[in-house]
Structure 1
């Protein structure tokens, strides 16, 4: 049964269009159930339409239509439950559709296809003989319908897009996930950075105009910086501080003034300086420095607007809008009232640009690199931004708008439902307490996230503040950041990972060029080779921890015991230095390691004698066990954290840690996925760390499962041969307990 379900769902999902997928569905389902007819009806507006069949007259496809109050198929959709009849003709709701030629069929089994509480359609099988379909057949069809719901929904949206000749469809790169519907506000095309090269005979007047524009720009940046400082968005504050510094006399601001004193008018001076430096920066090899050319452009355009049309600087749209611009700057986004900016689309920019960082901090869906969008004439037109897929739809049809509104509403309803229990402990039905922690990197809204359902911070990525600086942050700067994180956690435990750069986390001002960075100089290897940096970070952490026992320190990318011993020695050195320097009883934090390198799976007995805890980094552990670079598109399909071999390794790690009395948690993506959580809890893991967006859903899930029931499920999963089979097995478990919606 499991293989048959998998074969059908994979075939449907892989189909190129909706018509092909539905034809595959009915033919394969008919064959799998050894029946004489299979049909599917899709809900279009308030009518169910015969959309594919294998057994009825094929000419009836698209012609047979019924309301929810008509026929047995309508009754299934109306009640949202299956109907199983030995002789359908005897039922009072039976209605004959002559064009379908179904009078020869008597036995009738139909199940609803439901996606996020909304009926999508009805799947029907029929047979000439009078008989009742058995429970196994009914369960099979219900499970198949549940698994196909999402695929059919997505294929319908795709078909709607492709069949609408007036619909403009753009694609780009997602910079901040989310979906929104609003009208376009096109900005940025009114003023070009390239301005006429005009001389002036009144240098004093032009310099005065320029200084006024610079001061006005500084005032704006200061007010924005103060606003985000009050909201503890320190990373965003650092963006505005950097922009303010560029306007100083020692930087771009001085260059503007120098150009005016050389006889150029203020507008020409700003244009000349900006273009000159942008050209220099864009020719640099370093990606971070290349993106700083965008900061120079942002400031240049802002000062030019203040010089040319200061009245256009206020951004106060009457209704929520999706901003469409060539390249959004951080100040432009920050000036928008938060309830008026629901999406961002740009032609230029990078995922690490300041605008992208700010979009993520604001929780606004954003797509970058959308070619040709400014020349498409979309100002004031209705848009759908689906940043989860990097898609922008212009002037969508009413059915498509309805699809997306239902999608947004259903998602909000589910999130609200999960959030209602977030203040309750994550405890299984048979009383097993699971501690849920937060993975964090940015300080933005950290206090509210911690207060809302997390037992603490299971992983604070200290490399994020390092990446947002243009140099290594000083000891005092690090102390301040770490103190804010600890204060936000309100005495709950905080696990801080030491600097983990390299691989997929480059540090722009400390470039590491390697042929295979994931197996190279990264994590603890870099820290141990640079003790001057490592000791500063350890000292900063210990000082931030002060006299409390709240802080735990985590070492990344540990591959041998010698690295642990060296790190312990440096921790002792940093602790002793501070103990002698300060007049208070500072606490030495607990020390743990990331279990990412497979070799340490076989040395946990020795690890337990050295450290206080272990945190399993499932992302890298999976990558190294499968020898797959998850960021390489040629092999990324081979990356599968549900591979039975990975699950056996995780089970072995949990057993050994229990045997050696070594506390263990999981902080990879697996710990925030419903299927992964079920399997991890079945293995005995009771400390899971995840992104804030997963907390409510996982809490809700755990409160509806029994820990004792999961053991059998895990044993079955460990006997399977592929990750896909594992997913299907757990999906069936969810469906049997009416928890299928939590997977969407």
Structure 2
């Protein structure tokens, strides 16, 4: 690259920095910047368009176009050449703009006399903030050096936009990280929380995008890269040498850290006038842009490695990030793109809430959040971009809504909601020791779901009568290798100790679908929810099942034991799993170990097929538990991970209730104990309807027991059953409206 081109680029960036440092309003800064760029590049026009909202660009400053068009000219993303740049995040460079694909004439700007057009995206780490445009009357295509210079300038503009340098009169010039923002996500764990943001992977803010001395910046970059490489080498040294896949990933990671092409591009950016930090971030933005375009999963993962390395390098250069000693707020609300169960457990119960950009209702993080009773909102798009550590936030887990930097009216309304919830909890505490007996004398037994030792104190505080479901997979998911039998036996023993005389139903390992063990080869299945999972895996890999059954038998140590097999779809699967239990019992007897005082072996009914199993199955099984979450998705053929359809079908749909009632009747006929486990068991309206059709055992998260018990004690189940039957006869699709009307009439 020519030395004079580099010098001119540095001079322009330094002038821009000086203009940005002046004590002037946002609009005055923008006006001066467009003038500087146009003068430096020898073009008649320079314009800056910024996003007014997610879909609309606004002309915020111009040198050369009609001044009256500023803050008046707007266009949708994809509209015109400017909109095309914003949509594609790619440069548009043409010597004949009116003939170019997508050109749109804006009469108020007076741009019809300009032939040449070059537009570059103003973006930071893949987040589009606007478009920088230069135009001239002469028919010319801007040179690669000129385009490169514009991209460097756009990078600086992006940094300064984020830092609030252009806050001013225009609606499109509000700085990020200052305004009140509401995010609509999806509910993965109910509850309301107020606190302050703690970013799992803090966003690094570059405050010095322009540098004076390239030599100093090159030295800083080289020192930081050397520190990064040493850190990666240490990761390799500490890796599990027996895990070839992990070693391959880390070797690829080291290859990127030593990439000469990566270094050369960053050195080139520094020579143009960027600081070391800005050069890293410019390359990171390019990598993210490429990552969005790559369909190959392996290449996307490698580009993700490069993104992660860039983050590490930025933290070394800036000294920013959680690992540098920043203090977590006293009331932390965790924000992340996604998070694993082990990482989430490290934070523990001191989190007030969790907000994820990704995630799913059945994810490991959601399971842990439910276990810890922490409100969780998923699919909060762009929250990691907008939020900064320490920002005030309010999380409405019931509605799946997040209020970031809320205004006073939102704060008041939200605190009223939290206060009402606290009052309700006090009311529920007063009935904790009382039975869930309806007005017509029917008692429903309420149990809690659990998966961690941390859940067990809730047995007493919630008023639960036992653990209706203990998920054993969490101990497998949070580790990097298979747990040992003795470790599991000790854990299960502690669970039984904590429960005392109360019954604990241990569900055997339920993996597959969305629950993939980190040390198990992933299965490339087109529909994993209907694939190789749960009891299917256990029967195909009986060694793991035998180890777990032995651990459960040894944990019981002569006490009563209750075990349940998940996702049983047909009678033979239950018989085969039961046979494994019988073998494990015989082995323990031969070894002289104490056998359980009593043993109950049941199945989880999660597939419609099992509802139609032979009568002999209902007679042989010791008990059944309906897994409502999976059963509902299979009954309606509606994936519960798919936000478009998962709320489309109502649990109180007449067809579903009729199917459930059929199962209740079959269990009554064979005297088979039956319970219902899942999210719907913990929703008061659904719970009373389930009780009305004959369910006498419900298992739910601990926080739901109080609300469900409160409503059950105030209704007549026989009358609700009559309402359900009437709605069914009248041809209603759902009994919900009729039940709600009845409850309102009852006060």
Alpha-carbon offset, residue 675 of structure 1: 2.3
Tell me how far apart the structure 1 counterparts of residues 619 and 385 of structure 2 sit (CA, whole Å).
Answer: 65
Q: Closer, same or farther in 2 for the Cα pair 1:723/1:468, shift >3 Å?
A: farther
Q: Closer, same or farther in 2 for the Cα pair 1:393/1:465, shift >3 Å?
A: same
Matched, 1:511 2:525: no
Match of 1:611 among 621, 638, 643: 621
Matched, 1:665 2:678: no
Match of 2:182 among 152, 156, 169: 169
> Is the CA contact 1:423–1:452 (under 8 Å) kept in the aligned structure 2?
no
> Is the CA contact 2:361–2:641 (under 8 Å) kept in the aligned structure 1?
no
Q: Which residue number corresponds to residue 164 of structure 2?
A: none
Tell me how far apart the structure 1 counterparts of residues 602 and 573 of structure 2 sit (CA, whole Å).
Answer: 12
Match of 1:533 among 528, 544, 548: 544
Q: C-alpha deviations, 1:267-326, integer Å up to 9, x for none?
A: 99xx9xxx9xx999x999599999997998799589959988999615165x74656688
| Gapped regions of structure 2 (runs ≥ 5) | 1-177, 210-215, 264-275
Alpha-carbon offset, residue 457 of structure 1: 1.0
Q: Which residue number corresponds to residue 575 of structure 2?
A: 565
Alpha-carbon offset, residue 573 of structure 1: 0.6
Alpha-carbon offset, residue 658 of structure 1: 1.5
Match of 2:553 among 536, 542, 555: 542
Q: Which residue number corresponds to residue 742 of structure 2?
A: 733
> Is the CA contact 1:175–1:366 (under 8 Å) kept in the aligned structure 2?
yes
SS of aligned partner of 1:548: coil
Q: Which residue number corresponds to residue 554 of structure 1?
A: 564
Tell me how far apart the structure 2 counterparts of residues 458 and 291 of structure 1 sit (CA, whole Å).
Answer: 44
SS of aligned partner of 2:505: strand
Tell me how far apart the structure 2 counterparts of residues 284 and 384 of structure 1 sit (CA, whole Å).
Answer: 38
Alpha-carbon offset, residue 588 of structure 1: 6.0
Q: Closer, same or farther in 2 for the Cα pair 1:720/1:599, shift >3 Å?
A: farther
> Is the CA contact 1:189–1:325 (under 8 Å) kept in the aligned structure 2?
no
SS of aligned partner of 2:620: coil
Match of 1:188 among 202, 227, 231: 202
Tell me how far apart the structure 2 counterparts of residues 196 and 356 of structure 1 sit (CA, whole Å).
Answer: 44
Tell me how far apart the structure 1 counterparts of residues 679 and 467 of structure 2 sit (CA, whole Å).
Answer: 15
> Is the CA contact 2:202–2:388 (under 8 Å) kept in the aligned structure 1?
no
Alpha-carbon offset, residue 454 of structure 1: 1.0
CA-based RMSD of the aligned residues comes to: 5.5
> Is the CA contact 2:564–2:601 (under 8 Å) kept in the aligned structure 1?
yes
Q: Which residue number corresponds to residue 49 of structure 2?
A: none
Alignment map for 1:189-338 (pairs within 5 Å): 189-190=203-204, 285=297, 304=316, 313-315=325-327, 317=329, 320=331
Alignment map for 1:684-699 (pairs within 5 Å): 684-699=694-709
> Is the CA contact 2:539–2:576 (under 8 Å) kept in the aligned structure 1?
yes
> Is the CA contact 1:434–1:686 (under 8 Å) kept in the aligned structure 2?
yes
SS of aligned partner of 2:569: coil
> Is the CA contact 2:553–2:595 (under 8 Å) kept in the aligned structure 1?
no
Tell me how far apart the structure 2 counterparts of residues 293 and 200 of structure 1 sit (CA, whole Å).
Answer: 19
Tell me how far apart the structure 2 counterparts of residues 392 and 614 of structure 1 sit (CA, whole Å).
Answer: 39
TM-score by length of 2: 0.58
SS of aligned partner of 2:182: strand
| Greater shift in the superposed pair: 497-506 or 374-383 | 374-383
SS of aligned partner of 1:620: helix
Tell me how far apart the structure 2 counterparts of residues 708 and 349 of structure 1 sit (CA, whole Å).
Answer: 41
Alpha-carbon offset, residue 486 of structure 1: 1.9
Q: Which residue number corresponds to residue 402 of structure 1?
A: 412
Q: Which residue number corresponds to residue 156 of structure 2?
A: none
Q: Which residue number corresponds to residue 494 of structure 2?
A: 484
Tell me how far apart the structure 2 counterparts of residues 200 and 504 of structure 1 sit (CA, whole Å).
Answer: 41
Q: Which residue number corresponds to residue 469 of structure 2?
A: 459
| Greater shift in the superposed pair: 655-664 or 421-430 | 421-430
Matched, 1:679 2:689: yes
Q: Closer, same or farther in 2 for the Cα pair 1:305/1:360, shift >3 Å?
A: farther
Q: Which residue number corresponds to residue 179 of structure 1?
A: 192
Q: Closer, same or farther in 2 for the Cα pair 1:693/1:202, shift >3 Å?
A: closer
Match of 1:425 among 421, 432, 435: 435
Tell me how far apart the structure 2 counterparts of residues 178 and 198 of structure 1 sit (CA, whole Å).
Answer: 50
Matched, 1:582 2:592: yes
Q: Closer, same or farther in 2 for the Cα pair 1:636/1:338, shift >3 Å?
A: closer
Q: C-alpha deviations, 1:7-58, integer Å up to 9, x for none?
A: xxxxxxxxxxxxxxxxxxxxxxxxxxxxxxxxxxxxxxxxxxxxxxxxxxxx
Tell me how far apart the structure 1 counterparts of residues 305 and 298 of structure 2 sit (CA, whole Å).
Answer: 11
Q: Closer, same or farther in 2 for the Cα pair 1:713/1:356, shift >3 Å?
A: closer
Q: Closer, same or farther in 2 for the Cα pair 1:363/1:498, shift >3 Å?
A: closer
Tell me how far apart the structure 2 counterparts of residues 367 and 290 of structure 1 sit (CA, whole Å).
Answer: 29
Q: Which residue number corresponds to residue 412 of structure 1?
A: 422
Tell me how far apart the structure 2 counterparts of residues 252 and 676 of structure 1 sit (CA, whole Å).
Answer: 49
Q: Closer, same or farther in 2 for the Cα pair 1:364/1:436, shift >3 Å?
A: closer
> Is the CA contact 1:167–1:396 (under 8 Å) kept in the aligned structure 2?
yes
Q: Closer, same or farther in 2 for the Cα pair 1:722/1:450, shift >3 Å?
A: farther
Match of 1:445 among 423, 448, 455: 455
Tell me how far apart the structure 1 counterparts of residues 531 and 512 of structure 2 sit (CA, whole Å).
Answer: 8
Q: Closer, same or farther in 2 for the Cα pair 1:337/1:511, shift >3 Å?
A: closer
| Greater shift in the superposed pair: 612-621 or 183-192 | 183-192
SS of aligned partner of 1:678: helix
| Greater shift in the superposed pair: 666-675 or 617-626 | 617-626
Tell me how far apart the structure 2 counterparts of residues 631 and 485 of structure 1 sit (CA, whole Å).
Answer: 30
Q: Which residue number corresponds to residue 722 of structure 2?
A: 712
Aligned residues: 533
Tell me how far apart the structure 1 counterparts of residues 516 and 340 of structure 2 sit (CA, whole Å).
Answer: 23
Q: Closer, same or farther in 2 for the Cα pair 1:692/1:484, shift >3 Å?
A: same
Tell me how far apart the structure 2 counterparts of residues 397 and 656 of structure 1 sit (CA, whole Å).
Answer: 55
Q: C-alpha deviations, 1:178-226, integer Å up to 9, x for none?
A: 434456678934578x9977599999xx99xx99xx99xx9xxxxxxxx
SS of aligned partner of 1:444: helix
| Greater shift in the superposed pair: 463-472 or 361-370 | 361-370
Q: Closer, same or farther in 2 for the Cα pair 1:432/1:197, shift >3 Å?
A: farther
Alpha-carbon offset, residue 613 of structure 1: 1.1
Q: Which residue number corresponds to residue 623 of structure 1?
A: 633
Tell me how far apart the structure 1 counterparts of residues 525 and 536 of structure 2 sit (CA, whole Å).
Answer: 14
SS of aligned partner of 1:609: helix
TM-score by length of 1: 0.58
Q: C-alpha deviations, 1:701-735, integer Å up to 9, x for none?
A: 222223444442343243243443x0011112211
Alpha-carbon offset, residue 567 of structure 1: 1.7
> Is the CA contact 1:450–1:456 (under 8 Å) kept in the aligned structure 2?
no
SS of aligned partner of 1:411: helix
Q: Which residue number corresponds to residue 66 of structure 1?
A: none
Alpha-carbon offset, residue 431 of structure 1: 3.4
Q: Closer, same or farther in 2 for the Cα pair 1:608/1:343, shift >3 Å?
A: closer
